[in-house]
Structure 1
Amino acid sequence: MTQPRHARDTSRGRYYSDPAGGPDLVSVTNVIDTAVNKSFALVPWGVKVTVEHVLDNLDAVADRATDDRPALTRELKALHREAKERAADLGDRVHAAAEAHVLGAPVADDLEVRPYADQLRQWLASWGVDLGEHVVATEITCFHRRLGYAGTADLMVWLPTGPGGRLELWLIDYKSSATRPAKSVYPENTLQLAALRYCETVLLPDDTDAPMPRIEKAGVLNLRSRSHALVPMPADRSAHRAFRGALESTRWLHAAASSYPALLPPAAEARPNRKAA
C-alpha cells in the first residue's frame, strides 16, 4: 500500500498525524480492514491460489510430499500471502503512475504497469477529460477531525454525467487487478468512498486546510491490463452511517486490551466451609 503524506503505520494499523497539532486520525482503510470481515472473499481466493499452484506443479509437489513435507507445507501456506503482496505492490505502482500522469509528470517506464496506465489514458480520453481544466485534485488527504478519521482521495474530476451533459464532480478510487473482471467491486468500496466524500476538510500542499469540495458522484475506476470500467457506487449518507459504525468498532478494538488475567481458584484455606455455614 502506498504511504500517503502524514500517514504512518502503527501496531494498530495506519494513522494520520495532523499538521494542526491535534490527535492522530485513524485511516479509512484501517477502519475497513479492522471492522469489515473479508474472509468470505479472501479464503476462497487463497484456496484457489494454492490449488492452482499444486495442479500446475503436480510432479514436483508429489516428489516432496513424503521426504520434504514440513517445508512443502510452509511454502504452500505462504503462497496466498505472497500473491497478495505482489498484487498490493502492483497496485501501488499503478497508483503512482496514475498520479504522475494526472499531474503531467514523467511516468516511470514499468513494463508491468504500462498496460494499466494506458487504460487510464484511454478512460480519460473517452470522457474528454482535460487534465488542466477538469481535474480538481489527485492523491489529496481528506480529514474529518470531529469524527477522528482521515484518508486519501485518488482523484476528484469533473465528468459530463449530469442532465444534458452537465459537469458533475466525481470522487474516484482506482482499483487494479490482474484477474478480477473490470466491472467487479466489493461492498466495502462504498464505505471507503462515503467516508472520503463526507470528510470536512482537505489538506493543501502547504499543510493548510480547505473545505472539502462538494462531491456529486462517486465511483471505482477499475483498471485492468486490457480493459477498464468506471463503476458508480452509492456512497451516500446511509453508507457513511455504516462507516461510522465500523469506526466505532475500530476504536473499541484498538483500545481493548490484548490479554486478560485468568481467574484462579482461591487457596484452600480461603475457601468457605459449607458445613460450618
Structure 2
Amino acid sequence: MTTPINADDSGSHRWYIHPVTGERFLSATAALSYIAKHELPAWAATLSAQAAIDAWSRVREAAAIEPCGRKGNDACGQCRTCVAGWLANRHNVVRDTASDLGSRFHQAIDNQVKIGPGCYVDADVQPFLDAYNEWAKLARPVFRGAEMTVINRRLGYAGTLDAVNFFSVKSTLPKKMQHLKRRTVLVDYKTGKTVGAPHAWQLNAYRFAEAILLPDGTELPMPRIGTGLILHVRPKSEGGVKMREAFLTSQNFKRFVHALRIAEAMMSPLGESLSRPAYFPTPKEA
C-alpha cells in the first residue's frame, strides 16, 4: 500500500496522525501483524537452507574466517558471523521485496484511477497490472473512492482502504459473484501468494470505521457498503485475478477488535505486566 497522508512510519508500526486534533490511531494492519503465522518459521528456514546451498562455496570459506566483530556498513561480509547473519536474514529480504512490489502495484492502480492509463509502471509490476486490467475489462468496476483513510475514534485505529467499487448489471462476474451486481463493494488488493482470514478482518476494520479522514482534517461519513471483496492479483501465468468475498459481519469485526486489543497489550510497557527481576542476595550481601 502506498504511504498515506498523515501516516507516521518512523517507529516499528504505522500510526495515523489527525492533522487537526493530533490524535494518534494505530494502523489496522499493524494490529493484525501480531497474529502468529505458524508457517513462517519453516518458510524462513527453507529460504536460508536454499541460500546456503546456492552459495555453498561462500559459506565454506566463511566457516574458516574468524568473526570480524564489526556491524552494519563496517562489517566485512565474509567471516562466519557475517555470512551466518546474511543467511538468517534471507526471509526478511524476500518479505520486504514482496511488500515493496505490493506497494508499487497499489500506486499503479491509484495512478490509473486518478490520471488514466498510460502511466509509467515498473517492469516487475506490469504483469500484475496486466492481470488486473484484464479482469477490469470484464468486471467494469466503477470507482466510488480510492486510497481513503478511515478512522475509528472509539476503538483507536485507522487504515487506508484500497477502493470502493460499484458493479453494475453490465459487469461480467463469475457465477459465484453475481450477487455483487448493483452493490457497493469495499475492495482490497492482495499481491502475495496467499490470502487468509486476517485479510477479511482487515476489511471489517475498514467497514466499521466511523469516518473518512481527509488530509485537511475534515471528517466525512462512511459510505454505505454492501460487502467486501479481496482481489488476489497474480500474473496471468500464475492464474491472474481471483475474487474472494470478505464477509463483513459483527462477528468478524469482533475478531479484528480482539487482535487490536492484543496488539495494544503487546506494545504496552513491560512494567505493566511484569516487574523487574529480583534476585536472592549473595552470601556477602546477606
Q: TM-score, normalised by structure 2?
A: 0.81
Distance 1:247 1:76, change over 3 A: same
Q: Which runs of structure 2 are paired with 1:50-61 in the superposition (5 Å)?
A: 50-61=48-59
Q: CA deviation at 1:9?
A: 2.2
Residue by residue over 1:20-77, the C-alpha shift from the partner in whole angstroms, topping out at 9 and shown as x without a partner, is 405211110111113x112x12212212222222333444444544444333212111
- Does the CA contact (< 8 Å) of 1:12 and 1:254 recur in 2? no
Q: CA deviation at 1:216?
A: 1.2
Partner Cα separation in structure 2 for residue 197 and residue 86 of structure 1: 29
Q: Which amino acid aligns with 1:27?
A: S
Q: CA deviation at 1:10?
A: 4.7
Partner Cα separation in structure 2 for residue 223 and residue 79 of structure 1: 24
Aligned to 2:124: 112
Q: Which amino acid aligns with 1:102?
A: V
Q: Which runs of structure 2 are paired with 1:141-156 in the superposition (5 Å)?
A: 141-156=149-164
Q: What are structure 1's unaligned runs of at least 5 residues? A: 272-277
Q: What are structure 2's unaligned runs of at least 5 residues? A: 66-78, 169-176
- Does the CA contact (< 8 Å) of 1:162 and 1:168 recur in 2? no
Aligned to 2:91: 80
Q: Which runs of structure 2 are paired with 1:109-258 in the superposition (5 Å)?
A: 109-129=121-141, 134-160=142-168, 161=177, 163=179, 166-177=181-192, 180=193, 184-204=194-214, 206-226=216-236, 227-257=240-270
Aligned to 1:7: 7
Distance 1:84 1:166, change over 3 A: closer
- Does the CA contact (< 8 Å) of 2:20 and 2:216 recur in 1? no
Q: CA deviation at 1:18?
A: 1.4
Q: 2:31 aligned with 1:31, yes or no? A: yes
Q: 2:63 aligned with 1:48, yes or no? A: no
Q: Secondary structure at the match of 1:13?
A: coil
Q: CA deviation at 1:261?
A: 2.1
Distance 1:268 1:236, change over 3 A: same
Partner Cα separation in structure 2 for residue 65 and residue 265 of structure 1: 42
Moved over 6 A (4+): 266-271
Q: Which amino acid aligns with 2:127?
A: P
Distance 1:74 1:143, change over 3 A: same
- Does the CA contact (< 8 Å) of 2:18 and 2:217 recur in 1? no
Partner Cα separation in structure 2 for residue 9 and residue 203 of structure 1: 18
Q: Which amino acid aligns with 2:92?
A: R
- Does the CA contact (< 8 Å) of 1:119 and 1:224 recur in 2? yes
Distance 1:207 1:199, change over 3 A: same
How many residues align? The count is 259
Higher mean C-alpha deviation, range 2-11 or range 117-126: 2-11
Q: Which amino acid aligns with 1:209?
A: E
Q: Secondary structure at the match of 2:108?
A: helix
Identity of paired residues, percent? 27
Q: Secondary structure at the match of 2:123?
A: coil
